[in-house]
Amino acid sequence: MKLIGIDYGRRRIGLATTDETGEFIRSLPTLDRKKQPRHIDILSDIVGKERVSGVVIGLPLDADGGETEMSLEIRAFAAKLSGKTTVPVHFVDESLTSKRAHDIILYRKRKSRRDKGAVDGIAACLIIEEFKKETR
């Protein structure tokens, strides 16, 4: 099952995808929402171009597993994306994915450590990983 992972943010949207088998994950270029205000249309095009069978979006939950202001915003974003595509949208708890992505990027060259888009892409990869764990 080919998936696309989304790390939604108010400034940037990190993206990742799997291969056709769902085994290997790679990050895609991050979308800057201010530079690309039609990000829903762009994402819809990516979903079609990549021929994915599902979208996985990270959902930030509070310490008790409840909804947050950001999770409600993400659900509204997901509803708009669902209206533009025919593939199912899944949610996965994204707790600590950005922290783990920052930890991973520390092993990169000094210049690329400051690349916030790379952190978002890694976080999207981790979101797919978490979904794969939950659905095994």
The pLDDT tens digits for 19-55 are 999 999 999 999 999 999 899 999 999 999 999 999 9
Burial of 75 (0-12, 13-18, 19+ CB in 10 A): middle
Residue pLDDT, tens place only, 4-25: 999 999 999 999 999 999 999 9
- Cα(100)–Cα(104) distance, integer angstroms: 6
CATH architecture of 3-134: 2-Layer Sandwich (3.30)
- Cα(28)–Cα(14) distance, integer angstroms: 8
Sequence spans of domains, the chain: 3-134
Identity at 98, one-letter amino acid code: S
- Cα(85)–Cα(65) distance, integer angstroms: 28
Is this prediction's pTM over 0.85? yes
pLDDT computed for residue 113 by the predictor: 46
Residue pLDDT, tens place only, 67-122: 989 999 999 999 999 999 999 999 998 876 666 666 667 665 555 545 567 788 88
**29-45 residues labelled b (16+ CB within 10 A) or e (exposed):** ebbbeeeeeebbeebbe
